[in-house]
Amino acid sequence: VFSVYKRRSSASLPGRGIDLKQEAKDQVAAGYCCYSSATTLHYTMGHGVHSFVLHPVALQYFLQPAIRIVLPDNASTIYCDRRMLLTGGGESTLSDALQRCLDKFRGSTFTSGCLVGDLHMLLQTGGLLVTESAHLLCEAAPVAFVIEQAGGVALDHTGRRILELAVEEDHNVQVSLVVGSRLAITHLQLGTGTGNGHPKLQVE
């Protein structure tokens, strides 16, 4: 997974910390590659998400299909670590909210064990992708950019839009990441933390 920002420091000097201190919405491009029997590249420059497939003989990427990728409006699948569903105990915990969402839509959970792998499946099936510790600069920001360009929503556990977050002095800050289709997100009400270590996330 990767993202591209405009450089702020002089191009005649090595990169500096100021180049990283930007808001996530300042990205000019983002995407990810998946390596399997076919190598695919999903890429956006702020005008929708497109998929490219590496031809094994020509060794070039070809657009396929020649249409923008749109996130399916589905709420029955949640991509997350199943252990998140086993740490509940109160109405305001993230795990309880996810469980209620599963019950409401008679859904299921799945994870490939890899953020990019889950993102790739999410773009095909819709639903929700939830992780409690995503690196803001290297993971959450590019994932949010891709998801929003595909018609979805990307928030943190307090309901803040990921693309409104900014990198400050700590370049390694991590955030909770909740991304998915608009249908799935609209059935979740995100609020502030409850003081018990769990973010507040309730199903409407």
Estimate to the nearest angstrom the gap between the alpha carbon of 19 and the chain centroid. Answer: 22
Task: Report which DSSP code applies to 189.
Answer: E
Q: What is the pLDDT of residues 7-19, one digit of tens each?
A: 988 888 888 888 8
Q: What is the DSSP secondary-structure string of 130-145?
A: EEEEEEIIIIIHHHHH
Q: For the chain, which ranges sit under pLDDT 70?
A: 87-93, 189-204
Total count of residues recorded for the chain: 204
* Beta strand spans in 13-127 (E): 29-34, 40-44, 49-54, 61-63, 77-79, 108-110
At 131 the pLDDT is 92
113 to 91, 110, 161, 168, 187: CA distances (angstroms): 27, 9, 24, 29, 25
Q: What is the pLDDT of residues 74-84, one digit of tens each?
A: 888 999 988 87
Q: What is the pLDDT of residues 151-184, one digit of tens each?
A: 999 998 888 899 999 988 788 889 999 999 988 8
Q: Is the pTM of this model over 0.75?
A: yes
At 92 the pLDDT is 46
